Structure 1
């Protein structure tokens, strides 16, 4: 139940406000309740959820729970109604002994988001302990000669309760000889005393049996009794008397055995044996006193005999008796109060409660990682503890309540830099010399997906020969992810797009796990010289991260196309080349020209022409240009030459192996008086044409040299870049392609058919690569030059 009374309730509210203000930054609060000890199981303590401002429906989802330090499971919370109730028996005396204040401190933890509240439950005392005397019987020996108003010390009762429940009143059974004198000071240092009110007469009364009753102030009140058996002695009528009734001594804890505590001095007015005094502990002294101190019966010296520990007993109350050797003996009493002084002999104690086994690397600053409580059994400055952390860690300690701290995140984490922290908490007290204790907290940084897969370079160049087998492995892409576990599990895929009229996935594929790139079908250099596409790498994190890499696949030419003849006919189709030739032509006259093209490129498209030997071994009056395909006379024709000449021209490329085609040329020789004139006119025209084309050929030669120089420079730069880049791999990858110098070419044919040179964007053709473009330009210039030369000769 909550504390009652307007004044006390206002005080608690003020204390609660101050504590809430002090713990505002960590999201902590404090609620105070109070219950009586020995409350039954299930006893209502308070509506903790309502008092903390929490909704009942969010208790379970937010992992509402309670932790208490060194308090077992005295209190529990019903998560259905948010009520704090008593879970097991609470004994205030066992929990707090005789401390004036007794409370159970609870730490209420709520996750999602994490909040920490402090709840203090005050345990109220009930009168459940009766007064207890040191013994149930006490024997007193009193001389009959003792004067009136003589005092006889008695050991009072003790009550384990506190406050009014421990406030004792004494009552002596009715008698005519003795009255009871009770001390009036709060400390009750002066013992209870029997006061003689009527002279004793052993001959009348030799023994008295009295009952001393102690009653506490609880409701209902409890009592304890001790029987006093008084024996009346004769003769020795002077008892020993101490200098003081009470001696106050200060003693350092952990004093060595044999350390002198006090030397007592008592006097007896009698003489002889009646005045010889012996010292001893009172008969009802506790066993702890006899184990910790010893007394010399003759000298009265009290010395340390065992362990003196401030944390166990702070104040010793020792009853001393002085007895003479009279017959009967007489007794004197005094009390020694030994105050134990604390020394710094206890190091602080640390208790670490980890709330998070691991913390995400993207956790915000202020996240609570662990709860730390500090205790020191010393007192005063020796018990003032300060806590600190190992330097240069992204954490800090935040004081939440008294000796309670929270270990919270102070700055951002990065698992890729450091994935585990060993945080050392040091607690140091204020003693001299100070003592310290350390505790290690292991904080594991959990990975979040904050790193995308990364390729070694943004672009790769791959060379593949055309006509590769389907499913051929041409390259392997590999991306690395700095994260861990599924966040670093990389899968690969194509970035789909159109290549002309077809999808990219019809040309290539990539293995999702290994990153191997395969050509799904044979590639054709004449159809596709460059295939450029992107491969995407994505991790398995949530959300996933990814990156792309560009692959440039150059399809290298193979000699897979034979030369194709361009013969007259419908649409340039196949057939024999027929030509009329006048017999009057001179030697070296061009009479016909065989034209052929090759769909390949480079050496594979460089054509040469050969004239096959005539049947029967006859020597033909014609020859063919090795690279031009021009058929010219080797001598002047005469009447002996057959009127119909059938020539077989073999057209061959420079591939390995070379491919060929055969052209049939039919020449008809005719006698005509006008033919020589026409031939003459043709020769005259040819001479004029050659003169007109001299300048053009000069410019073409200059162009050839410039293009050749640019080609050589480009190839050198391209080779340097390729050597500096990592070598590309591929099961179908060829060696270096063969290049042809333009100076070695007399004439070649090169057909620029309709083909798709490369794939860029969404099916949009891209110009061929620089080396291929320069070679094509060089070949085109050579063709123009040869055409001009042929035109000049005709």
Structure 2
């Protein structure tokens, strides 16, 4: 009996035990796991929901569980009555503004029970975003570079660092931004912070300049930062000294004494170091190239003044002496000048050079000084003559020997002038040559023959497999004629616009349509803009619009075969089917109308010829189709008259209706289109 009671008690308790087991699983995760994991970006705003716990229970106020974060001041929190995990603090993958990852324990309490709490570990991993720009180390930068530094020489290292996690966000690319003098210095490699010389430097041209450096990461979108690099060019001893004049003259008096300082022309003998930054001191001497004439004079070492030696008094003049100016710190750097000595009487005029040359731009203004014809001695008055009078059309020479521009020059007409000039003082004379070279200036922009070109291309030639055009893959469209007034300039042509990739144009102006373009054309009229750019400095350009109308069956057929004309073919097929269906409907309607008319005609004739039995046959009528105007008329066929004198049956008589003669008892065909479709009964 006791055994039976125990069994009954177990049977009663079994459902409650099973229910208790079900309630105990409400703090379990739905996926059967023991840990919840989430992934979020480091730029997720505070207060955002980063995920939802997948627990079985319901944390709402009327639910069966309650959830809370076990740690204090945790970066995650769970709002009351919710399963959502909310971000409470900012995140930072670089751990500057916040944590780089999160790990908290969520406490789950089962309401209505005294069971212990259930702990759910929650792991949050933070994704890196490109939230840091590269930072220069040691910026701004300054470098001192010798003008003798060869191309490829290291200037300095300008490193930058990106605080993002290793990867594209932290990979730094270096570049020197375009600007004045940016061609001289550059990075050896875009991933290397080392700056090197890209182009030879020249202190005499550029002494210092500033460049803008950019460090940019590989993020999307990229972040970058700029800084300045100041380059100071150091002068090097790469230039020889230079005399103020290449040729000097001095007049020797007949009573010259030893030690007499000779007056030189066109000025005192002087030279200077062309290395401006160094400006080394010089010393003067008679060069060994002077030969036996070196004993005629003495040159002061510091000043360069020339004093007569004892041998000069009885010397056979004229004589030429070579003066040498040498750097004190470098004997390999020196310059030479010629000093011509001549007697003071007789005075003989002559040019200091046998040939004079000048280079002038073709846009030089009239009145510009081109060159000076130096003479010795520089006495006045002097007269100048030229070998060709045409010289005076463009140029003029004043009494000081200055050659001036008289009229504007044109490189395209004449690019050089060569004349012989003579000078005289009335007693003596001398001759020299003058060569004036005209420098070209880009005065003309390219000019098209027409302001707008329109061409028509028949694609049947491109469709023909045996034609030369089909073999080349190009269809000749036409030729654009362009001319540049500058003689030395060449012109190149390019095409721009939506349809430009469909064409090819060469520098001769011949324009072609590419064969493969037929597969992608969606218009029968193609528009491009042709641009002509000349080779002048600076270059000039001109543009004209070009329209190409494509005709022939070729582009439609080829386009359909390649998918370009599929839409047009489908539209034409649909239109043809619609027209055929409409024709069938019209034909059916006409047949229906004809049948109805025949039926009405039969019914009308039968009713008119059959008399009702209850009435005497007083009149017989036949219905007929009305006149050509479309009005239905009743045609009287006659009437029967009762017995009596003079009476008798009045026969059926004809009656004219609507201008036509109608006879009783017969239905006539009507004129017009109905005659074609409806047969007379």
TM bin (shorter chain): 0.3 to 0.5
TM-score of the pair, normalised by structure 1: 0.35
Which structure is higher in RCO with an 8 Å CA cutoff and minimum separation 6? 1
Which structure has the bigger radius of gyration? 1
TM-score of the pair, normalised by structure 2: 0.40
